[in-house]
Structure 1
Amino acid sequence: MKMFNMFFDIEKEEQWLNEQLQEGYRCTNISGLGIYTFRKTDKRYVMRLDYQDYLPKKKFKEYKAIYEDFGWSHIEGHRMGGRQYWQKEEDGQNEIFSDRQSKGNYYKRLMGYSFWLAVLCLFFSYSIYKASGLYLTEGLWSMEGALFWKALIFETPFVLLRSLPAFMVVLFGSSFYRANRKYSMLKEK
């Protein structure tokens, strides 16, 4: 079974994947385009996601070996950085972070990822909007009647596409805020 889904929140993605596991569908592949492949299973599995920055080839092999020693299977993820998908049969040891420090380090990595993506999208948004604004149809605001409405309706889908980077700033900013809040809560305990 294949399903399409897009997530900007790593914890919501993990929750959704575990819901699929509870329904008896084991994840076998995840494409970069948001296509998840599942296979029906009778066994009980659990899935955990991690975020890693760039790791050299040797460090990435060590990273994978540590988790595989504890029974985790690496489903998807690259040494160049990004989300790492881990899955194993449920056995009572279902967390990939063994202590508060490793969980805190995870939130720090996630904050850095969210921050730099938000900055990149903010820069991109600024470069798009500074010269021309959102609506590019010349004389749009001086048009009248049906011509104005036709031009406005025609242009609006393009405006929504051009405003996508600004929307992404909000999404990555909120991801940064949530990770920062969870990191702060871990430090207070």
Structure 2
Amino acid sequence: MKKMKMFFDIEKEEQWLNEQLQKGYRCTNISGLGIYTFEKTDKRYVMRLDYQDILLKKKFKDYKGIYEDFGWMYINGSLLSGIRYWQKEDDGQNEIFSDRQSKCHYYKRLINYSSGFGLLCLFFSYMIYKDSGLYLTEGLWSMKGAWFWKAFLFETPFALLRSLPALMFAFFAISFYKAYRKYSMLKEK
């Protein structure tokens, strides 16, 4: 079974993947385009996601080895940096972060991830809007009657597409805020 889904919040993605596991579908692959491949299973699995900054080949091998020593199976992830997908049979020891400090480091990495992509989206939004605005049809606002509506309806899908970086910035800003709030709560304890 294949499902296509996009996430901007790593914790919501993890929750959704675990819901699929509860329904009896084990994840076997995740493409970079948001296509998840599942297979039916009778065993109970749990899935955890981790975000890692750049890991060179040796560090990645060590990172992967630590998780595999505890029974986690690596599903997918970028070789350099990004979200790593881990899955194992449910045995009661289902957390990948065993202490407060490692959880703090995780949220710190999520803060960096969200702020980096958020700023990139903000930059793209600025580049799109700085000279032209959302609607590019010349004289659109001075047109009258049917010509206006035809031009407006034709241009609207393109305008929505141009607004996508601003929307993505908002999603990453929310993700940043959630990670920062959880990080702050852990630091206070």
Normalising by the smaller structure, the TM-score range is over 0.9
In the TM superposition, residue 150 of structure 1 has moved relative to its aligned partner by 1.1
Q: Deviations over 1:21-64 (max 9, x none)?
A: 01111111111111111111111000000000001110000000
Root mean square deviation of aligned Cα: 0.7
Please report the TM-score for the alignment, with normalisation by the length of structure 2.
0.98
Alignment of 1:72 onto 2:79:
no
In the TM superposition, residue 149 of structure 1 has moved relative to its aligned partner by 1.1
Q: Which residue of 2 aligns with 1:41?
A: 41
In the TM superposition, residue 9 of structure 1 has moved relative to its aligned partner by 0.6
Q: Deviations over 1:54-98 (max 9, x none)?
A: 011100000000000000000001231000000000001000001
1-side partners of 2:129 and 2:23: how far apart?
A: 45
Q: Where in structure 1 are there 5+ consecutive unaligned residues?
A: none
2-side partners of 1:12 and 1:88: how far apart?
A: 19
Q: Which residue of 2 aligns with 1:24?
A: 24
Amino acid at match of 1:22: Q
Q: Which residue of 2 aligns with 1:13?
A: 13
Q: Which residue of 2 aligns with 1:132?
A: 132
Q: Which residue of 2 aligns with 1:177?
A: 177
Please report the TM-score for the alignment, with normalisation by the length of structure 1.
0.98
Q: Identical aligned pairs, as a percentage? A: 77
Aligned ranges 1:111-150 → 2 under 5 Å: 111-150=111-150
2-side partners of 1:106 and 1:163: how far apart?
A: 31
2-side partners of 1:61 and 1:116: how far apart?
A: 25
2-side partners of 1:79 and 1:155: how far apart?
A: 40
1-side partners of 2:7 and 2:127: how far apart?
A: 26
SS at match of 1:63: helix
Q: Where in structure 2 are there 5+ consecutive unaligned residues?
A: none
Q: Deviations over 1:148-171 (max 9, x none)?
A: 111111111000000100111101
Amino acid at match of 2:153: I
Q: Which residue of 1 aligns with 2:153?
A: 153
SS at match of 1:187: helix
2-side partners of 1:28 and 1:79: how far apart?
A: 18
1-side partners of 2:5 and 2:120: how far apart?
A: 23
2-side partners of 1:160 and 1:78: how far apart?
A: 30
Q: Which residue of 2 aligns with 1:105?
A: 105
SS at match of 1:32: coil
Amino acid at match of 1:34: G
Q: Which residue of 2 aligns with 1:81?
A: 81
